[in-house]
Amino acid sequence: MSDKMKTGRVCIDAELCTGCGHCKEVCPVDAIGGVPGSPQKIDEERCVMCGQCIHVCAAFGNGKKAGHDPLETQEPAFAAHYVGEVGQVLTALGQPHTLKVVQCAPAVRVALAEEFGLPFGSLTPGKLASALRAIGFDRVYDTNFAADVTIMEEGAELLFRLKAKENLPMFTSCCPAWVRYVEQAYPDLLGHLSSCKSPQQMAGALFKGHGADLNGVASNLVYSVAVMPCTCKAFEASRPEMESGGLRHVDHVITTRELARLIKHKGVEWGDLKETAFDAPFGEYTGAGNIFGNTGGVMEAALRTACESVTGKPLGEITFDAVRGGQGVRKATIVHEGLELTVAIVGGLAHVAPLLEAVRRGEADFDFLEVMCCPEGCISGGGQPKVLLPFNRPVALAQRKAALYAHDSELPVRKSHENPNIQKLYKEYLGEPLGHLSHELLHTDHVKKRGGVHE
């Protein structure tokens, strides 16, 4: 990452760091160095910006540095911290003449309320939507909708590759920390990544294209913000390939923690918020899009659509327990009406190397690989509320995960291809998955930015 990039960074404050080394233990790419008992330092070339070090850092400044920002919109003073874009968002919300649109990742709705004293895993999409309107957004859309688009595109791409026997196994590409890791450590395997942009970027591209038309404004007047559980998504949004017609798909990204501070800064009382819906058409989502926040969720969502698309026969059971789970590697073979697909899921980047080595040797025994850098997927992302007591962390993650799956099971539509607004989007705008417009807006070449730092 360029030293000039001042926001979207994970840092360790040398004045606050006690050198306990807890951050080093959780870093999946061995990017933290330093003598025990002395301040630790992050190697920015190696760091994939997952933010896991932030969650375990206990070196609190005890007020020494807190309050340096009168708006109180910066991270609290732990040694390992995130330097985000919330200040820019605050400024932009005050600008007239722009249409301010926002999207929220699935994991945000099961964690944000923790910052307002509610129990772990409280599901609050309605209050989230109201809070975003209250702080100044004109349209409250949803990354979950774009997750459904991702399934349409990625499912079609997988089926194309299986037929053509090209670039298999295919790797998911939703997690920017994982993509960055492949670029750095396995650049020879870049062709295995799906060409799909992440749901965050697909959403941004749609908001400034079709969304601008639907709202009757010029694309350059759409100001696009993403609320993410992730400390790597601002980096992803800043990549030069994540734009169209000279406009970035996503102008700024804020984390779940930053959104909570923004809500408090704006004087919005959480308890007073009513439940409201996200805005149509980009706010309507399925259970499949919603489970993207859990490890195995992208895979399960893809299987729901791929199995039915390729066979034309409905699934009897749409819950794929074999791909659900937590940290580590899981494999499963799915059989449906003559289709047989072997899949692998990795929760936590530290576990992926043996699978990639097998791919390198040409010995992979799976067709499709999902990797999420964070241990339990995005519910455990570096931008999520920090759980201060270590024994509460597994409890919080279990509750967030259960809440996403429970939300899936209660939604009326649970397969991406059955989302009526997805069907309408393809009919009226995109044409077909992998079509010309999809390629232009929703796909990218995963080019090697810098390679070999792990070699």
Annotated active-site positions, please? 154, 157, 174, 194, 233, 236, 241, 378
CA 172 to chain centre: 12
The site for ligand SF4, by CB under 6 A, has a size of 25
3-state secondary structure of 64: coil
**Maximal CA-CA distance, the chain:** 64
Q: How far is the CB of 203 from ligand SF4 (least distance, A)?
A: 14
Whether the CB-CB separation of 121 and 400 falls below 8 Å is answered with yes
Q: How far is the CB of 61 from ligand SF4 (least distance, A)?
A: 18
CB-nearer residue toward ligand SF4: 47 or 182: 47
Cis peptide before 390 (omega within 30 of 0): no
222 forms bridges with which residues in the sheet? 99
Whether the CB-CB separation of 177 and 443 falls below 8 Å is answered with no
- Residues in region 6-25 near ligand SF4 by CB under 6 A: 10
Residues 6+ apart with CB under 8 A from 17: 34, 39, 40, 59, 79, 80
Q: How far is the CB of 230 from ligand SF4 (least distance, A)?
A: 3
Q: Which residue is nearest to ligand SF4 (CB)?
A: 381
- 253 near ligand SF4, judged by CB under 6 A: no
Whether the CB-CB separation of 294 and 401 falls below 8 Å is answered with yes
- Lay out the site mask for ligand SF4 across 110-149 (x = CB under 6 A, - = otherwise): ----------------------------------------
Tokens matching residue 102: 């926002």
Q: How many CB atoms are closer than 10 A to CB 164?
A: 9
**Cα(373)–Cα(313) distance, rounded to whole angstroms?**
34
CB-nearer residue toward ligand SF4: 99 or 232: 232
Residue from the set 8, 16, 17, 47 that interacts with ligand SF4 by CB under 6 A = 47
**Cα(175)–Cα(292) distance, rounded to whole angstroms?**
11
Q: How far is the CB of 378 from ligand SF4 (least distance, A)?
A: 3
Whether the CB-CB separation of 268 and 135 falls below 8 Å is answered with yes
- Residues in region 370-429 near ligand SF4 by CB under 6 A: 372-374, 377-378, 381
Tokens matching residue 105: 């990742």
CB-nearer residue toward ligand SF4: 130 or 150: 150
- Lay out the site mask for ligand SF4 across 207-236 (x = CB under 6 A, - = otherwise): ----------------------xx-x----
Q: How far is the CB of 371 from ligand SF4 (least distance, A)?
A: 9
Whether the CB-CB separation of 232 and 51 falls below 8 Å is answered with yes
- Lay out the site mask for ligand SF4 across 167-186 (x = CB under 6 A, - = otherwise): --------x-x---------
Binding region for ligand SF4 (CB under 6 A): 10, 26-27, 29, 31-32, 42, 47-53, 175, 177, 229-230, 232, 372-374, 377-378, 381
